[in-house]
Amino acid sequence: MQKKSITLTDNRNGNTYTYPVLEATRGPDVVDFRTLFKDTGLFAYDPGYTSTASCSSAITFIDGAKGELRYRGIPIETLAKEHSYLETCFLLLNERLPNADELQNFDLELRHRAFLHEGLRSLFAAFPDNAHPMATLSAAVTALASFYQEHLDMNNKAEYHEMAHRIIAKMPTIAAFAYRHSLGIPCIQPDIDLSFTENFLTMIRAYPGGKMHLGPHGHETIREVEVRALDTIFTLHADHEQNASTTVVRNVASTGAHPYVAIASGIAALWGRAHGGANESVIAQLEMIGSVENVDAFIKRAKDPDDDFRLMGFGHRVYKNFDPRAQVLKTLQDELKEELGLNSRLMEIAAKIEEIALNDDYFVSRHLYPNIDFYTGIILTALKIPKNMFTPIFVIGRTVGWITQWIEFKKDPESKIARPRQRYIGD
């Protein structure tokens, strides 16, 4: 069978050039333009990479038109409903779900690796009070690289998996430390008896010494429903193919820098409002809108081309019909409304925005639908997680995705240093 290709004609000189089309197992095939410059002296111009595939990957698949998201071939809905976040981590790293023994060993290993080195602990004191936890988190993950400087042998799976397990295990602890430092509360190390997600909630909420709030009926406990909700949020954030922060992680990987520094760069990229920072902005925006009566005025501002106000939690570069993660979360939100005591005022405002936006020509014609960040804030608020921890929670969930992408980049013989070119328009 003849291989697929495309032929371009250069109208400047009539030359023709043929480029191979590389097939994808799902989704669009790609044109292999790697020799474009050598052949034609032209660069491909694509700011924001809207038409550029930067790598081949077998980790995550998104069909933006169908609203489909799969990790290692498994639909996100199945993972969110039937599997835990740790199973999802194992899946991403090992290309298959674990059996019971493997899951237990993985869980135990992560529990053992969750504590922070005492030296790293003192780093937090260098940050000012009220430091945003994302700034502290990114710096602490960079600092982590200085504690684990050994050369990584990419032919030794046990070695790079240990590196991956360590960062996944420590991220919730670092995030909790960053948060507690921002409040001036003594930090607490993880409890080996607690699961990944329960441990994180405990490190956020517990009093120094690890005990929970004391009420008339004794110490408050973390409820199973809360753990389930947060675990699902972690699963939904675990990976999302070549988004901005993952691209940053791969680009840093391409220079040969330490993997934890690559992750720290990913954290920095995620912080922005157009990316992971949107979850914090959604709740801030709902609070600013204040009541259902004010929604119309804000929708008007969002549609005004002369106003840079955007509806946070709306729109996505890839999803053009719906964000499947948002649908899972909306269902979870409805299921847990009573059990979690979700904030009804914010939910009413959110429901009104959603109703208008889903029917308004401005949003419909631009394919602007609620994304994952539109729903996470309301659930996280009910879990007593403060706003400035929303994006760190995204980080905790996404760490496995970043490190899996880092490994894939390192193992890919076609990987090269990321070095785009430019169209020079200066003097």
In the set 193, 316, 323, 361, the catalytic residue is: 316
Residue 330 sits in the site that holds ligand CMC (CB under 6 A): no
Tell the residue number behind the tokens 């493997």, with chain if given: 102
Q: Is 145 exposed, middle or buried (0-12, 13-18, 19+ CB in 10 A)?
A: middle
Task: State which amino acid sits at residue 276.
Answer: G
373 tagged catalytic: yes
Residue 302 CB, shortest distance to ligand CMC, in Å, is 4
In the chain, how many H helices and how many E strands? 18, 8
Minimum CB distance to ligand CMC smaller for 212 or for 284? 284
- The residues, ordered by sequence, that sit 6+ positions from 208 with a Cβ below 8 Å of its Cβ are 185, 186, 188
Residue 366 sits in the site that holds ligand CMC (CB under 6 A): yes
Which position among 172, 266, 276, 377 is part of the footprint of ligand CMC (CB under 6 A)? Answer: 276
Which position among 317, 345, 384, 411 is part of the footprint of ligand CMC (CB under 6 A)? Answer: 317
Residue 275 sits in the site that holds ligand CMC (CB under 6 A): yes
With contacts defined by CB under 6 A, name the span among 58-66, 167-175, 271-279, 410-418 that binds ligand CMC: 271-279
CB–CB of 356/99 below 8 Å? no
Which position among 312, 332, 353, 393 is part of the footprint of ligand CMC (CB under 6 A)? Answer: 312
Residue 121 sits in the site that holds ligand CMC (CB under 6 A): no
Residue 63 CB, shortest distance to ligand CMC, in Å, is 16
Minimum CB distance to ligand CMC smaller for 47 or for 215? 47
CB–CB of 197/231 below 8 Å? yes
C-alpha 319/C-alpha 307 separation (Å) is: 24
Residue 310 sits in the site that holds ligand CMC (CB under 6 A): yes
Tell the residue number behind the tokens 């901005």, with chain if given: 244
Residue 391 sits in the site that holds ligand CMC (CB under 6 A): no
Site string for ligand CMC, 221-250 (x = CB under 6 A): -------------------x--x-------
Binding to ligand CMC (CB under 6 A): which residues in 91-110? Answer: none
With contacts defined by CB under 6 A, name the span among 34-42, 95-103, 202-210, 368-376 that binds ligand CMC: 368-376
Q: Is 169 exposed, middle or buried (0-12, 13-18, 19+ CB in 10 A)?
A: buried
Residue 393 CB, shortest distance to ligand CMC, in Å, is 13
SS3 108: helix
C-alpha 171/C-alpha 181 separation (Å) is: 15
DSSP string, 172-183: HHHHHHHHHHHH
Binding to ligand CMC (CB under 6 A): which residues in 10-69? Answer: none
Structure tokens belonging to residue 214:
């004391």
Residue 220 CB, shortest distance to ligand CMC, in Å, is 32
Residue 302 sits in the site that holds ligand CMC (CB under 6 A): yes
213 tagged catalytic: no
C-alpha 152/C-alpha 163 separation (Å) is: 8
Minimum CB distance to ligand CMC smaller for 67 or for 315? 315
Residue 311 sits in the site that holds ligand CMC (CB under 6 A): yes
H-run or E-run covering 161:
helix 157-183
**Chain-centre distance of CA 33, in angstroms?**
29
Minimum CB distance to ligand CMC smaller for 223 or for 275? 275
- The residues, ordered by sequence, that sit 6+ positions from 32 with a Cβ below 8 Å of its Cβ are 19, 20, 21, 22
Structure tokens belonging to residue 280:
């914090």
Residue nearest to ligand CMC (CB): 315
Q: What does the binding site for ligand CMC look like in residue numbers (CB under 6 A)?
A: 240, 243, 273-276, 278, 302, 310-317, 366, 368, 371-373
